[in-house]
Amino acid sequence: MHDHRTSRRTLLTATAAAVAASAISATPAAAASPASSPSAAPHATVADVSASTRSRLKRLISRMSLEEKVGQLFVMRAYGHSATEPDQVDIDSNLKEMGVRTAAELVAKYHVGGIIYFAWAHNTRDPHQIADLSNGIQRAGLAQDTPVPLLISTDQEHGIVARVGRPATLVPGAMALGAGGSRSDARKAARIAGAELAAMGIVQNYAPVADVNVNPANPVIGVRSYGADPQAVAGMVAAQVKGYQGAGVAATSKHFPGHGDTKDDSHYSLPTIHHTAEQWEELDAPPFRAAIAAGIDSIMTAHIVVPALDPALDPATLSKPILTGVLRERLGYDGVVVTDSLAMAGVRQKYGDDRVPVLALLAGCDQLLNPPDLPVAWNAVLKAVRDGELSTARVEESILRILLLKAKLGLFRDPYVSHRGVDRTVGTRAHLAAADRIAEGTTTLLANESGLLPIGRRTHRNVLVVGADPASPTATTGPPTTVVAKAFDSLGFVATALSTGTAPTAAKIKEAVAAAQGKDVVVVGTYNVSATSPQRTLVRELAATGVPVVALAIRNPYDIAQLEGTGFGASVATYSWTDVELRAAVRAIAGHTTPRGKLPVPIQRADDPAKVLYPLGFGLTY
Active-site amino acid positions = 340
Count other C-beta atoms under 10 Å from residue 382's C-beta. Answer: 16
SS3 of 342-397: the string is CCCHHHHCCCCCCCHHHHHHHHCCCEEECCCCHHHHHHHHHHHHHHCCCCHHHHHH
Cα dihedral across residues 360, 295, 430, 226: positive or negative: negative
Pair 605, 429: CB distance under 8 Å: no
Cβ 114 vs Cβ 204: under 8 Å: yes
Contact 30, 421 (CB under 8 A): yes
Beta bridge pairs of residue 369: 75
How many whole angstroms separate alpha carbon 602 and alpha carbon 613? Answer: 8
3-state secondary structure (DSSP) of residue 546: coil
Query: How deeply is 615 buried, as exposed, middle or buried, from its count of CB atoms within 10 A (0-12, 13-18, 19+)?
Result: exposed
Q: Residue 156 is inside which H or E element, if any?
A: strand 156-158
Using an 8 Å Cβ cutoff, are 26 and 409 in contact?
yes
Rg (CA), the chain: 25
Burial label, 323 (beta-carbon count in 10 A; 0-12, 13-18, 19+): buried
Q: In whole angstroms, how far apart are CA 377 and each of 134, 180, 221, 359, 429?
A: 24, 43, 28, 11, 45
Distance CA 33, CA 20 (A): 25
Q: What is the DSSP letter of 121?
A: T
